[in-house]
Structure 1
Amino acid sequence: MRPVFVFDGDCAFCTRCAEFVRRRVRTEAEVLPWQEADLGELGLSLEDVEGAVQWVDSDIRAAGPDAIAVLLRRAQWYWKPIGALLSLSLVSRLAWPVYRLVARNRHRMPGGTPACAVEQPPA
């Protein structure tokens, strides 16, 4: 199975980030919006892909910053140290709150649009 990095193709910010990956991060993974993916074949649910980017291959399934870490570890040599750093337990634990903060505010990020807003569960 070819690795797949899945992102939200309806979000302009996410799409810009994915385009950066396609242009600058050489990876064997297919960088694919979840709207074009066969989620069942990948073993992903709508909740999975609406909540975070996903990495899926035959060995590893990861989400959010952990998925980004796998992507970078499997890219060209100069991305590998960043992926390795992001994979460290402490760094990963710190990265998740930052990832969630960015995800909640992605409509405010460069390239973001109101369509990027993620609905928040009621408090």
Structure 2
Amino acid sequence: MGQPVFLYDGDCAFCSRSAQFVLKRIRTDAAVVPWQGADLEALGVRREDAEAAIQWVEPGMRRAGPDAVAVLLRRAQWYWKPAGWVLSNVVASRLTWPLYRLVARNRGRLPGGTAACALPQAQR
């Protein structure tokens, strides 16, 4: 694996729309792929971790949730980098994780979400 990989939940409409935003608006050298179609074992990512949060994976580094978004933004165009650095701040990270979990729990209610987003992975 030479290229970074940004994993998201391809069974969730909200997550898929968010990934489409990344692909259209944020230039990244990462492959943006649903975890369901990725070789998680080769990436060193447990299925439970992929189900729980988005993942940034590259040799020597793995980040999840808002920390994964921070890496993505830091590696994007210059105008995204400040947001990435703010998210990377320890204080900001402590604040963004609860917000990330709140969004993840309620993603079926958000724009672009579907009822399937609210179901546990095993029931989709």
What TM-score comes out, normalization by structure 1 length? 0.95
User: Corresponding residue for 1:35?
Assistant: 36
Q: CA deviation at 1:33?
A: 0.1
User: Corresponding residue for 1:99?
Assistant: 100
Residues of 2 paired with 1:49 and 1:118: CA distance?
15
User: Corresponding residue for 2:67?
Assistant: 66
Runs of 4+ in 1 over 3 A off after TM superposition: none
Q: Give the aligned residue type for 1:20.
A: F
Q: CA deviation at 1:118?
A: 4.4
Q: Which runs of 5+ in 2 are unaligned?
A: none
Q: CA deviation at 1:32?
A: 0.4
Residues of 2 paired with 1:2 and 1:97: CA distance?
29
Q: Which runs of 5+ in 1 are unaligned?
A: none
Residues of 2 paired with 1:118 and 1:60: CA distance?
30
User: Aligned-residue CA RMSD in angstroms?
Assistant: 0.7
What TM-score comes out, normalization by structure 2 length? 0.94
In the TM superposition, what whole-angstrom CA distance separates every residue of 1:6-39 from its partner, at most 9, and x where no partner exists?
0000000000000000000000000000011000
Q: Give the aligned residue type for 1:19.
A: Q
Residues of 2 paired with 1:72 and 1:30: CA distance?
14
